[in-house]
Amino acid sequence: MVHDGFRILGAPVGTDAFKVAFAMDRVNAIIDAIDTASHMPEIQLQHLLTSGSLIQRITFLLRNIPGGERSLFQEVMVKYDAAVMDAPRRHARLLVLPPLATQLAGLSQSNGGLGYRTWAKTADAAYLASYVHTSRQFANMFPQLAPQFPDVLDLPSYDVALRASPSARYALRALARIEAAEVAIGLTRACLTRDRNQPLRHLQHSLATIVDDAAHLLATEAISYSDDRSHPRHMAVHLSHCGDPTTMSLVPRDPQTTFSNADFTTALRRRLLVQLQQLPEDRAGECLTCPTCGERSDQPYGSTTAPRVDVFGDHALRCSKGSKLRTVWHDGIKYVYAFLAKMAGVSRVLEPEQMMLFSNDRPDLALHDRLGFFTVVADIRTVVPSNDGECPGAAATPGHAAAVGAAAKDSKWVPQATAQGLSFFALVSEDGGRLGVGALRFVDLLASHAGTSVGERKAFVTFALQRLRCATVKGACALINNRSPTGIQPGRRCRGLLPLGEPRPRPAASQSRVAPPPQAVQPPWLRTEFPAPPLLQRLGPWVEPPYLPGALEGTAPPASPVTGHTTTNTTPFTAEPMRTALA
């Protein structure tokens, strides 16, 4: 029993000390739930449950308390944020989450993060949205209390706001903190003016987007500072991940959307820009070596200063040998497109032969009408933004690698497709999940056949993009895990494709210690040369027995095993010729 406050509909009402104690109890309950979820065997389900459900339970509390006031809630904030950020560290199998990875984990998926919203980034937006919603509702529902909740945009100073109510002062301070970090001056006030009549959830989402964009700007500055000037792969990969806002929150429903623990850990680490393995620096004379092509990490990559075999898995995606693994990645995306075409009710053919009149090329996918005439051809390509040629452009412009890959496909297919009156689509996917323009146009084409209403088409587009991005990321992570570099000496090379095959059997003993087995002697009947048998007499033609009408009609007579000629003897077998010969 307490005497300094009480709870109404799940919200604390009372002194500041009571609110702090209430918040601490709520945070401890959420931390216990996060710890319970960590015992699930599937890492993908741990991530989905934590980021999509457990950390959302703090939102209602932050709407009712000024959580951004560090003088009151500093201890609660630190404890909660540490527990939230420990989840992605545990899922990614890391001992310590680096500062840049911590920034990325707290970003939304549309900004290349994982969606782990912390107390520090959510408190001000939640409380300010709740105050604006309250000030608008109180003017109509409780006119006597409306002066205690004036419009936050009309408050000139903290003293004026405090004379109205402590809540008004807290709201003005939250507005000031959001404005101090906004990416454009006046953006927050314009958002409040535009969405002040919207529901509370919509207004909070708008304010949270402003906070998230500001945090994303700081993260990109940190990425740019840590990147290699000659090979900015971190920024190129990060912008590719920004084009995939759905894969990390996709609920696994079938094998196509279910990640293994190894593949999901790789996906998390690449999204956090964390190394997949360490260089063998503690062993002198050793380096990372690709098991497929034999290239090493002590060799420069192209004209850059970056290593040819890196610790982030990029070399596995661009390795010049071992095309079977890339084919599996490519075919996984192809089957998703075929599934979507069938789902939309469009007739399709995978890799049709002898379709192009001016070449022997086979498109990955072709659509035809009800009469069987082909109308659309499409070809799939996977690109890696961290390649030497595309990396600088991909680090500066989102989707640059996909555009380069689409241009290469267009130059090959558009002339011959146009000559046959066909439409061509270049279906390009970046390894981070970003889709090219041609892929988006092709999905819109399928959506036009999937439904007649706008809602049906939007639902199909959402489903299709989720599946395509998931297939791209999952295939890339599986390829990286199946072609991991090994730390061996530069003089040794392992050229086999991973996973490695069965170990070789134990070698047999040397011939000097074990006597050779004796050679088997052939029996006499195998060594005896018999004379050739005499030729058989040719008899008359074979006549079909009356009791087998038409059984052998149209068949050739069998060949003699002695002469090789056909035998046509139809004389019934009797013992008289044999007695004459013996006599």
For residues 392 and 340, state if they share a domain: yes
Higher per-residue confidence, 552 vs 153: 153
Pair (70, 164) in one structural domain = yes
- 575 inside domain: no
123 and 262 in a single domain? The answer is no
- Of 488, 515, 544, the last residue of a domain is 488
* Residue at which a domain ends, from 457, 488, 519: 488
Same domain, 179 and 54: yes
Residues 29, 157, single domain; the answer is yes
CA distances from residue 355 to 209, 338, 369, 380, 466 in whole angstroms, order as listed: 49, 18, 15, 17, 31
Give the model's pLDDT for residue 565: 43
**Which of 469, 488, 507 lies at the terminal end of a domain, its last residue?**
488
- What per-residue confidence (pLDDT) applies to 530? 46
- Residue 188 resides in a domain: yes
- 145 and 273 belong to one structural domain: no
- Residues 35-47: tens digit of each pLDDT: 999 999 999 999 9
pLDDT of residue 371: 81
Q: Is the pLDDT of residue 555 over 60?
A: no
- CA dist 203 and 132 (Å) reads 9
User: Please, where are the H alpha helices in 482-575?
Assistant: 524-527
Confidence bin at 388 (pLDDT 50/70/90): confident
- State whether 267 and 213 are in the same domain: no
Kindly give, in sequence order, each residue whose CB lies less than 8 Å from that of residue 67, ignoring residues fewer than 6 positions away: 23, 61, 73, 76, 77, 119, 122, 123, 124, 126, 127
* pLDDT winner (highest mean) among 8-12, 431-435, 507-511, 533-537: 431-435
Examine the domain organization and report whether 220 and 277 are in the same domain: no
Q: By residue range, what is the domain housing residue 130? A: 5-226
75 in any annotated domain: yes
pLDDT in tens, 170-217: 999 999 999 999 988 999 999 999 998 899 999 999 999 999 999 999
| Residue from 211, 182, 194 nearest 132 by CA | 194
Judgement on whether residues 133 and 30 belong to the same structural domain of the protein: yes
- To the nearest whole percent, how much of the chain has pLDDT over 70? 81
Pair (344, 453) in one structural domain = yes
- The per-residue pLDDT for 519 is 55
Confidence class of residue 574 from pLDDT cuts 50, 70 and 90? very low
Tell me which DSSP letter residue 435 carries. Answer: B
Specify the 3-state DSSP secondary structure of 391: helix
pLDDT at 557: 43
Q: How far is residue 412's CA from residue 363's CA, in Å, rounded to a whole number?
A: 11
Return d(Cα 223, Cα 273) in angstroms, integer: 9
As for how many domains the chain has, the answer is 2
**Residue 493 banded pLDDT, cuts 50, 70, 90:** very low
Task: Say if 550 falls within a structural domain.
Answer: no
Q: Is 397 in the same domain as 469?
A: yes
What confidence score (pLDDT) does residue 462 get? 95
Query: CB neighbours (10 Å) of residue 513?
Result: 6
Give Cα 583 distance to the centre of its chain.
91
- Give whichever of 136-145, 469-478, 574-583 has the largest mean pLDDT: 469-478
| 219 and 102 both lie in a single domain | yes
Read off the DSSP letter of residue 499. S
Count other Cβ atoms within 10 Å, centred on residue 206: 17
Task: Return mean pLDDT, the chain.
Answer: 83
455 in a domain, yes or no? yes
Domain contains 370: yes
pLDDT at 269: 95
Residue 305's pLDDT is 83
155 in a domain, yes or no?
A: yes
Residue 413 lies in a domain: yes
